[in-house]
Amino acid sequence: MTVAPRKLLLSLIVVLALVLATVVALLLHTGATPGARSADAAPASTGGGLGPNVVVFDPTMSESSIQDQLNLIANSQAGNEFGTGRYAILFKPGTYGSGADPLVFSVGYYESVAGLGQNPGDVVINGSVDVYNQCNDGNQSQCYATTNFWRSLTNLTVNVTGGSAANVTGGSAAGVTGGSAGADGCYAGTDFWAVSQAAPLRRVHINGNLSLMDHCTGSPDWASGGFIADSELAGGTVTNGSQQQFFTRDSSLDGWSNSVWNQVFCGDAGAPAQSFASDSGDQGGPDSYTTLSTCPVTREAPYLYLDATGNYRVFVPATQTDSTGPTWAHGNTAGTSLPLSSFFVVRPGATVDQINAALSTGENLLVTPGVYDVPSSIQVSHPDTKIVGLGFATLVPTRGNVTMNIADVGGVNVTGLILDAGTTGSPALLQVGTKGSTVSHAADPVSLDDVFFRIGGATPGTATTALVDNSNDSLIDDAWIWRADHGAGAGSWAGDRSDTGLVVNGDHVTATGLAVEHFQKSEAVWNGQHGEVIFYQNENPYDVPSQSAWRASPTQNGYPAFSVADSVTSFQGYGMGSYSNFNQGSVQGNLNQGSAVHNAMAFQAPHAPGVQFHDLLTVFLNGTGGIDSVIDGTGAAVGQSSAGPRDVVSYP
């Protein structure tokens, strides 16, 4: 999802602070090192051996110093959508803020905020941790959350307090960190997490109200998707508001306000009842709720924590089946604790040869914040290897290589990474397993958690496919696979090139919280047997130049957003949506009025008894043309005369 380009206005004080921070950073660390790109202006690190952009807070520190550091980072990252700054913000066990003096701060691009306790209750913030709208004009009449990507909050408790205009940072015309004077009191008593894709909440306990939109700063307040897992949202209501789609898994809820097009719940105590119908999303129609009482197979993301002696460790949660509610609700999460000594800590300056040498001896990887050029493939060959990224560490292939290749082994976890395409075309960014393998990994599956892929945006890019998953029984949990609709290389059909976002060849693969957007051919291709997808979000490519340039065959206009191969006899899909905005390469609002572009169907699958879809929908967002059917000719068209949603409750 995109909005018009923004002009960010920073105050003189913030600019001076950033200049000072740059000088400090340059004195402490030389950014331009082999294998890593120089970072944007950054405050001094307190992360020690965890890298230059890891900031660790201790409850013995003064709250004013913590607040100042958080505000500095937030303001530097608020509009830094495609910059190189990356930050892991870590809180040691203890309590921060109070009812009388709450700690209230916002989270910008490429900030991962996490508690360092073993459980969420070990780190308590009295205050709020917020994401606000971004605004395009001084009148705050064009304010959205639709590009609030690449940030996270995990493994801590927030006792929601504060949040009035007097103690919320920012409020510039650009909506840098929200909380304008015109919103006096609106933010009080609510934690705001107004985000779209690649902005997960994991292992959080929020006591109080949570809003997934920012209704206090300007309008129209749009938001476009998000992910919550393994969390307890208690003592208040979750305001969905304008969130077009959202996925919530294995959590506990006290209330959920409404739906828009596609709200999916899986294993959530207190979730709304199943209500998806043929007229869901229509005015006066039922809510668009897809609710599964349990989740089939899940494994929570590994996370960094401090043990009782103050040493860093990584906890790896165990695989669950038929799960419901948070893993920590009745004690410690089941799983395995690994010492940091078992990890090769990847810092700016590390080479691929060093990384592969560590992997070849069975070491794990902890990738510290940064943008890393990768001139040859990272090779993961040992079972049970853990690859944990901090601060949205980003890997970019530079020689047309596959960025990371995982052998056909079990138990590998990859979490917290962005994989960007390079300017020289790669066959894939991440390849998992061996195509055609019959090896079962059901007892110890590969899992990809909070792993995000970009073709363009930060830099022009090209890759045939972003993610190829050949591993049987693997788990994909919270993946956004994106060919950029704005940023570098976007807006031109010949710019950022990529045919397909996801190809699944493995059997028994489960995807929970999957988004694949804007690719140039079939966007997600599912070839494996016995697959399951719970929540899918898609936008067709915006920049199709003409219908003749975009046909799956001479008789089929466009390409499906999700395609199940004719050979597949068993598949289940729940809560899956696809939207169109064909602007034919022109700026939205100044459309090329040539022939309209149509997609014959959003979803394509064999008409087999074992291949089943539940709660499908299409929506026309803007532009010309539209989507002519929901799945295989079933379901009405959406277009300029009928925006939808158009719903198919079950298929076949």
Distances (CA, A) of 632 to 483, 519, 564, 591: 25, 20, 11, 29
Instruction: Give residue 283's pLDDT.
Output: 83
In a domain, 243, yes or no: yes
Instruction: Give residue 7's pLDDT.
Output: 30
Instruction: Give residue 46's pLDDT.
Output: 58
Instruction: Give residue 177's pLDDT.
Output: 42
CA atoms of 514 and 261, how far apart (whole Å): 16
Judged against a pLDDT cut of 90, whether residue 96 lies above it is answered with: yes
State percent of the chain over pLDDT 90: 82
Judged against a pLDDT cut of 80, whether residue 30 lies above it is answered with: no
Residue type, 86: R
Instruction: Give residue 6's pLDDT.
Output: 30
Q: Model confidence at 483, in pLDDT bands (50, 70, 90)? A: very high
Instruction: Give residue 62's pLDDT.
Output: 96
Instruction: Give residue 52's pLDDT.
Output: 81
Instruction: Give residue 580's pLDDT.
Output: 97
Residue listed under structure tokens 């109200």: 209
In a domain, 135, yes or no: yes
Nearest alpha-carbon partner for 617 in 582, 578, 566 = 578
Residue type, 52: P
Instruction: Give residue 163's pLDDT.
Output: 75
DSSP annotation string for 494-558 = TSSB-SEEEEE-SSS-EEEEEEEE--SS-SEEE-STTEEEEEEEEE--S----GGGSEEETTEEB
- Mean residue pLDDT of the chain comes to 89
Instruction: Give residue 184's pLDDT.
Output: 56
Nearest alpha-carbon partner for 496 in 467, 537, 466 = 466
Q: Which two tokens stand for residue 48?
A: 């020690």
In a domain, 65, yes or no: yes
pLDDT digit string (tens) for 121-150? 999 999 999 999 998 866 677 899 999 999
Q: Give the residue with greater pLDDT, 11 vs 368.
A: 368
| Full 3-state SS string of 127-141 | EEEEECCEECCCCCC
Q: Does the annotation mark 300 as catalytic?
A: no
Of 229-233, 400-404, 593-597, the least confident: 593-597
Neighbours of 611 (CB within 10 A): 21
CA atoms of 157 and 95, how far apart (whole Å): 9
In a domain, 634, yes or no: no
| Averaged pLDDT, 610-620 | 98
Instruction: Give residue 16's pLDDT.
Output: 32
Any residues with CB less than 8 A from the CB of 590 and at least 6 apart, and which?
none
Distances (CA, A) of 348 to 383, 484, 515, 614, 639: 26, 26, 30, 46, 48
In a domain, 29, yes or no: yes
Instruction: Give residue 174's pLDDT.
Output: 36
The total of structural domains in the chain comes to 1
The three-point CA angle 146-151-157 to 5° equals 115
Judged against a pLDDT cut of 50, whether residue 244 lies above it is answered with: yes
CA atoms of 385 and 381, how far apart (whole Å): 8
| Averaged pLDDT, 373-385 | 98
pLDDT digit string (tens) for 433-468? 999 999 999 999 999 999 999 999 999 999 999 999
Judged against a pLDDT cut of 50, whether residue 167 lies above it is answered with: no
CA atoms of 559 and 223, how far apart (whole Å): 26
| Averaged pLDDT, 101-115 | 97
Q: Model confidence at 620, in pLDDT bands (50, 70, 90)? A: very high
Instruction: Give residue 185's pLDDT.
Output: 83
Report whether 370 contacts 39 (CB < 8 A). Answer: yes
Q: Give the residue with greater pLDDT, 294 vs 171.
A: 294
Distances (CA, A) of 103 to 63, 106, 531, 632: 8, 10, 44, 52
Q: Model confidence at 17, in pLDDT bands (50, 70, 90)? A: very low
Of 14-28, 220-234, 365-379, the least confident: 14-28
| Averaged pLDDT, 298-325 | 97
Any residues with CB less than 8 A from the CB of 64 and at least 6 apart, and which?
none
Q: Model confidence at 372, in pLDDT bands (50, 70, 90)? A: very high
Of 189-203, 513-527, 573-587, the least confident: 573-587
In a domain, 44, yes or no: yes
Distances (CA, A) of 265 to 19, 280, 575: 45, 16, 9
pLDDT digit string (tens) for 43-53? 545 566 898 89
Judged against a pLDDT cut of 90, whether residue 362 lies above it is answered with: yes
Domain that holds residue 18: 12-258
The three-point CA angle 196-464-198 to 5° equals 15
Judged against a pLDDT cut of 70, whether residue 392 lies above it is answered with: yes
Neighbours of 555 (CB within 10 A): 7
pLDDT digit string (tens) for 196-229? 999 999 999 999 999 999 999 888 899 998 999 9
Instruction: Give residue 40's pLDDT.
Output: 59
| Averaged pLDDT, 307-331 | 97
In a domain, 562, yes or no: no
In a domain, 178, yes or no: yes
